[in-house]
Amino acid sequence: MQLSFVWRYTMANTKRWCWYIPIVSLICTVIWYSYTMESTSRNRVAITALKPRVIDDTKQNVVAILSKQNVVPTVSKLEKKNEKYLVYLCDEKRDCGGWGDRQRGIVSLFLLSLVWKRTFKILISSPCDIKPYYTPTKEYNWIFTDDELKGLKDQKTKTLDFVGVDEPLMNMNMNSSEIADVLYIKTNCVNFLIIALKYANFLPVYLRKKGRASIFRESWNRFMIPTDKLLSQVVKIDSRGEINSDAKKLGKELVCAHLRIGHSKYLPNDYVGFPLVAVPKVWNFIDDNFHKKSRIFVATDNLDVRKSAISKYGRRYIGSYAYTMNPDNMRSNLTLACSSQESAYVDQLMLSKCDVLIFYRRSGFSIHASYLKTEWTNIYSILRNGSSTFSLQKTNIY
């Protein structure tokens, strides 16, 4: 009887353990598998962390290579062959306008190149090459490389003229199969703001919901850098005269004006600009509102204005000593035309560095100087409103 009880008890326990053993085995298997995966995962992290690195000897910065952020995307030969270009063109075959006209055209095509995903280039050969004065940024190389020029031989090219006509350019579908791979365009497009608004969704964030000045400035500074040759001339001008410490503290030490007179004995075929007889009133405004020892810089297209400024301010006057003219009107005298173009580059860059800027509202050259001003403060605009009168007002740039 006792043996029978022991046997039944043993069998009952055996059946119970038969359920436990598979369950325990399954749990152990899961734990072991999880541990293995975790170990593998840790090893992968360790491998990633030990990616090859290179040290920049000049700055001692450790830069991880092979990471996604540092790999430069390669362009296949097929992609390079199919690359499409949008080229701002200014040559001797057609008037391009003054520097302000050219800048508008360049910025407009830059915006359209972003919209239509075309590589942006600039070719200015009239009256002289622009490259000694401006150079590309690393982000946008607007100069054709030798390899790119070789590739152009196999591509369809076309030159279009939109000088004075904006709408067809703004509405052109540059992805159309009928449009050439390489588009050379001549334009002085005024409406780059409309381009930015119309195609806002296709532009980078830094160009969206911006005013005209911001769009011009952000675009221009993305692809254009003044060369050392140009900067050295600006530095030379800025080193003239005596800097007054009190005027410097007020932030109004260098007062600049651009007086575009236009039609005169010097430019008989030009449009009528700022009234010459009103120039002394500009000097009065400067005297009444700014420090008596501020330095004065005046850019102009009229020699009489320069003589008046020198007579009025003497040693306080630091320039300009050149007068800018539309280079299209001087192609018969290449030396004079190139000198005038260079003066335009220098004067506009100098105007953008001033503490106080008085600009003429009917001059693209002048307006763009205000857009490029280092700080958008102390900016005044002037505009002719009669044969001898003008309006002057403080202006907010945005």
Mean pLDDT of all residues in 157-179: 93
Are the C-beta atoms of residues 182 and 84 closer than 8 Å to each other?
yes
Interval 8-58: pLDDT, tens: 444 444 444 444 444 445 444 444 444 444 433 333 333 233 233 333 333
pLDDT at 180 over 70: yes
Which is nearest to 108 in space by CA: 168, 157, 148, 156?
A: 168
Type of residue at 90: C
pLDDT of residue 80: 54
Pick the CATH number of 79-226 from 3.40.50, 3.40.630, 1.10.10, 2.60.40: 3.40.50
How far, in Å, CA of 170 to CA of 106, rounded?
A: 14
How far, in Å, CA of 134 to CA of 376, rounded?
A: 23
Mean pLDDT of all residues in 231-246: 97
Distances (CA, A) of 131 to 124, 228, 373: 8, 11, 22
Interval 118-147: pLDDT, tens: 999 999 999 999 999 999 999 999 999 999
Type of residue at 156: K
pLDDT of residue 218: 98
pLDDT of residue 213: 98
Interval 259-275: pLDDT, tens: 999 999 988 888 999 99
pLDDT of residue 38: 40
pLDDT of residue 337: 87
pLDDT of residue 310: 97
Are the C-beta atoms of residues 86 and 116 closer than 8 Å to each other?
yes
What six digits make up the tokens of 322?
Answer: 């050149």
pLDDT of residue 323: 64
pLDDT confidence bin for 237, thresholds 50/70/90: very high
Mean pLDDT of all residues in 176-199: 95
Of all residues in the chain, what percent carry a pLDDT higher than 90? Answer: 69
Interval 71-109: pLDDT, tens: 333 444 444 557 899 999 999 999 999 999 999 999 999
pLDDT at 282 over 80: yes
pLDDT at 69 over 90: no
pLDDT of residue 327: 75
Mean pLDDT of all residues in 330-337: 79
Are the C-beta atoms of residues 282 and 382 closer than 8 Å to each other?
yes
Domain boundaries, given as residue ranges, for the chain:
2-64, 79-226, 241-394
Equal fold, 79-226 vs 241-394: yes
Q: What is the 3-state secondary structure (H, E, C) of 33-61?
A: HHHHHHHHHHHHHHHHHCCCEEEECCCCE
Mean pLDDT of all residues in 198-211: 97
pLDDT at 285 over 60: yes
- In this structure, the number of other CB atoms found within 10 A of the CB of residue 263 comes to 14
Higher pLDDT, 309 or 58: 309
DSSP state for residue 314 in the 8-state scheme: G
pLDDT confidence bin for 334, thresholds 50/70/90: confident
**Weakest mean pLDDT among 78-87, 257-266, 349-358, 368-377:** 78-87
pLDDT confidence bin for 61, thresholds 50/70/90: very low
Type of residue at 376: W
SS3 353: coil
pLDDT of residue 77: 47
Q: Is the dihedral of CA 288, 291, 293, 298 positive or negative?
A: negative
Ranges of beta strands (E only) in 208-353 are 224-226, 254-259, 295-300, 317-319
How far, in Å, CA of 339 to CA of 342, rounded?
A: 5
DSSP character string of 130-183: STTTEEE-SS---SPPHHHHHHHTTS-EEEEE-TT--HHHHT--TTSTTS-SEE
Architecture field, domain 241-394: 3-Layer(aba) Sandwich (3.40)
What six digits make up the tokens of 318?
Answer: 């630091």
DSSP character string of 187-203: ---S-HHHHHHHTGGGS
How far, in Å, CA of 179 to CA of 172, rounded?
A: 9
Are the C-beta atoms of residues 296 and 308 closer than 8 Å to each other?
no
Cis amide bond preceding 127, omega within 30: yes
Higher pLDDT, 314 or 38: 314
- In this structure, the number of other CB atoms found within 10 A of the CB of residue 115 comes to 18
pLDDT of residue 326: 74
Q: How many Cα atoms sit within 13 Å of 214 on the Cβ side? A: 11
